[in-house]
Structure 1
Amino acid sequence: MSSATVLHITSKDNPVLQRLRKLSQDGGAYRKLGSVWLEGDHLVRACLQRGHAVTQAVLTEAAAADPALRALAEAAPRMLVVPLALFKTISGLESPAQIGFEVPHAAGQALTPGLDSVVLDRLQDAGNVGTILRSAAAFGFRQVLALKGTAALWSPKVLRAGMGAHFGLRLIEGLAPADLDALAAPLIATSSHAEKQLHQIVLPQPCAWVMGHEGQGVQAELMARCALTVGIPQPGGEESLNVGSAAAICLYESARQRL
């Protein structure tokens, strides 16, 4: 028997729904409000599987009548049941997923030295950021360090692109290049001018792969801190790779050598 408190809400002016709208519509609102909005059963399941704390569940009346979705919602200490029309006002999707969680967000974590990491240098595209988080989690990189100017890691768009990877990673934002000195692991960047190609080098373990801005690449101050630069073979002759694709290749090679 669930011990969750169940509340039925029918007013669009309810203060909880007003807060959730801000979290859904403003990618950086979680930094001010201290909460994150997760929409959809996939993100909700990923959150629960990793044992992440949950503040409350929000679900439509139809979802509350669905045994599987209601069971997910009952993992939260409080359930808010709303009409579909109200759920649509807090949804960031064209087709609302009908269930979501509000979860607490803890800011201000310190980076962990000596941990395999990925550094994001002012990446702007939420899809790229989420893709890199998925690759990091898949290939055993447990820490992602975002420099100032990078897309908000816990924004709804990055969360959707990450597909649950957030809950298996240490995510630290708002860093400056000098903060990475505390990492105590060599930084590696890719470069089309590098003398050695990725497959020709024994990669350091642990290490931190640096992924730069989509248009400008890695900033000079950060590149100067890199102990190693490598090239990615591109026999097809393309000038460069999408940063998400480049990250997946580099992280895979590190994981391959580690194993």
Structure 2
Amino acid sequence: MSIIYLESKDNAKIKHLRALIELNNYRKKHGQTILEGTHLCLAWLHSHKIASLFTTESALEHIDLKKIQQLYSGHIFILSEVLYRDLSTLGTTLPCIAVIDTPKLDQSINFNIDTLILDDVQDPGNVGTLLRSAAAANIKQIICTKGVASIWSPRVLRAGMGAHFALHCFENIDLQDVISNFKIPVYVTSSHEPQSLYAQDLTTPCAWILGNEGQGASNYALKHAQAVTIPQPGGQESLNVAIAGSICFFEMVRQRQ
């Protein structure tokens, strides 16, 4: 492990890091993304490698950075406090940004296991929260259609709090190419359907389709999956998609206990 000081914002390493933070197309082109914060970095290092690490001189002595250094053998790039704050998306947390290679799946979609299908869910916070809830409910497979926020973007990674690392995530999938292949029940949430979530038998594997924040489930999903609603005696028109998904997942967990 070596320590290298970077002082200029025009340094090639800094430009590369900034582009990974800000530009989705750049991340895809280079097959890399960033993790910010010691929690995500430590979770990742338990089973993966970090390509490079950026922090500040004062942060090096923090116990969490010491733990990372024990697991990481590459270059540590030291930035000034001002330059780090200019790059950071988290603000006041302990300075720690890691560049990682975006994982490449070496398997195909399994149409017989619990699955979360995100159909045009665009808010990174919602996507990350849904991945976190899915992982907690032991749903391991995630399918994302083309309109979904990039799974490996820094904002989704931050909201997921490390859930990504336990999941198999398929991106840019056409819903019409997969939905008919499932050998298990496929449910789609809708606030306008009479079938209650709580009337379903969720004790065997199933797939969940969750739709766009504003428009809800697509017509195709509603036509080709079993629509269910979450009873809302308080009379609200709809629930946040991440809340709705989490309720569905843990009703499934409850029935299987």
Q: Calculate the TM-score normalised by the size of structure 2.
A: 0.91
User: Structure 1, unaligned stretches of length 5 or more?
Assistant: none
Residue 77 (str. 1) matches residue 73 (str. 2): yes
SS of the counterpart of 2:71?
A: coil
Find the partner of 2:13 among 7, 12, 16: 16
Q: Counterparts in 2 of 1:103-114, with a 5 A limit?
A: 103-107=100-104, 110-114=108-112
Identical pairs, percent: 37
Aligned to 1:241: 239
Aligned to 1:128: 126
Map Cα deviations across residues 49-83 of structure 1 (whole Å, 9 max, x no partner).
4x123212211111113243133134223122222
Contact 1:10 1:83 in 2 (8 A): yes
Aligned to 1:61: 57
Distance of 2:90 and 2:211 partners within structure 1:
29
Contact 2:190 2:217 in 1 (8 A): no
Runs of 4+ in 1 over 6 A off after TM superposition: none
Identify which range, 51-60 or 235-244, moves more after superposition. Answer: 51-60
Offset, 1:213:
0.4
User: Structure 2, unaligned stretches of length 5 or more?
Assistant: none
Distance of 1:214 and 1:94 partners within structure 2:
27
Decide whether aligned partners of structure 1 residues 16 and 113 sit closer, same or farther in structure 2, where only a CA change above 3 A counts.
Answer: farther
AA partner of residue 61 (structure 1): E
AA partner of residue 37 (structure 1): I
Decide whether aligned partners of structure 1 residues 34 and 183 sit closer, same or farther in structure 2, where only a CA change above 3 A counts.
Answer: farther
Q: Counterparts in 2 of 1:72-221, with a 5 A limit?
A: 72-78=68-74, 79-95=76-92, 97-107=94-104, 110-180=108-178, 181-203=180-202, 205-221=204-220
Find the partner of 1:30 among 27, 30, 40: 27
Offset, 1:189:
0.7
Offset, 1:162:
1.1
SS of the counterpart of 1:224?
A: helix
Offset, 1:192:
3.0
AA partner of residue 91 (structure 1): S
Residue 52 (str. 1) matches residue 48 (str. 2): yes
Contact 1:21 1:89 in 2 (8 A): no
Map Cα deviations across residues 82-110 of structure 1 (whole Å, 9 max, x no partner).
22222223212233531121111034663
Aligned to 1:229: 227
Map Cα deviations across residues 131-167 of structure 1 (whole Å, 9 max, x no partner).
1111101111111111011111111111111111111
Q: How many residues in Structure 1 have an aligned counterpart in Structure 2?
A: 254
Distance of 2:87 and 2:71 partners within structure 1:
21
